[in-house]
Amino acid sequence: MDTNLLMLIFTGALVGASSGFLGSFMVLKRMSLVGDALSHVALPGMAIALTMAINPMLGALVALTVAVFGIWYLGEKTEIYPEALVGVFFTASLAIGILVTPEPELLEALFGNLETIGLFDSVVTIFASFLIFIVTLRLSDKLLLGVVSEDLAKSGGIKVSKVNLIYLLLVGLVVALGVKFVGTLLTGAMVIVPAAAAKNLAKSIKSFQIVSVLIGVLSAAFGIIIAQATEIASGPAVVLVSITAFVISYFFKAE
């Protein structure tokens, strides 16, 4: 196994771990649609970056940050349900992204391409993944209290709106990290599926988070190995491994 492949597996595993960790809160908060929709928002950002000869990951991050602030602001200031807002951002961004993405790069943007991941991407991914873990750990108690009751969290002095914004920004960041590994169509699955599988197996919040991280790591690592060995797109390989984990977890569902 060459050094480049080992680096891809390591960085992919970190993305899988941070995705699984964030996904555990997303499943608890019943926000699974958000993770899926945000992954599509990355597409127009990547398209614009490609046309300007800029790193697509940077374009995805900018587009996701704008979308997160938009969803958060409208959710705070309007009576529109968050699911409806996400649906609007999802359909608009996907349509725009497909229209403006250069055709040769479209499949790569949609399904990922490990060959385009360079040293810079790996270094950024490693640093950002650790940042996601640190910030999420610091917010963990506040997020969990918000899941139980936002009114209770507010009465305890927690700025729920601010915590939700930071959490959404972290989700946007992990999606931006994952687009080169699994593509914009499937990055949402990296956040959602490992957490859904872990929920079947876990008997406590702590074990739920740990198992979610482990499934995220294994899904990314084995998916990348399979993709390299069979010369298929990395996105479908990673997601199918995580789906397999979900199916297995269903039959061993904790009572």
What's residue 214's pLDDT?
A: 92
Q: For residue 83, is pLDDT > 70? A: no
Q: For residue 255, is pLDDT > 60? A: no
* pLDDT tier, 76 (very low <50, low <70, confident <90, very high otherwise): low
Q: Residue 17: is it exposed, middle or buried by C-beta count within 10 angstroms (0-12/13-18/19+)?
A: buried
The string of pLDDT tens digits covering residues 183-194 is 776 777 888 888
Q: Which residues contact 147 (CB under 8 A, 6 or more apart)?
A: 25, 28, 29
DSSP state of 158: -
Q: For residue 39, is pLDDT > 80? A: no
**CATH topology (fold) of 3-251:** ABC transporter involved in vitamin B12 uptake, BtuC (1.10.3470)
Give CA–CA dist 220/187, Å, rounded: 11
* Phi–psi pair at 102, nearest 5 degrees: -55, 135
Q: How far is CA 10 from the centre of its chain?
A: 17
Quick one: tokens of 83? 């699911």
Lowest mean pLDDT among 32-36, 63-67, 102-106, 245-249: 102-106
Question: Rounded to whole angstroms, what are the CA distances from 154 to 7, 72, 201, 255?
Answer: 43, 17, 31, 33
Quick one: tokens of 79? 């009576």
Query: Higher pLDDT residue, 51 or 129?
Result: 129
Quick one: tokens of 43? 């597409």
pTM of the model: 0.82
What's residue 75's pLDDT?
A: 65
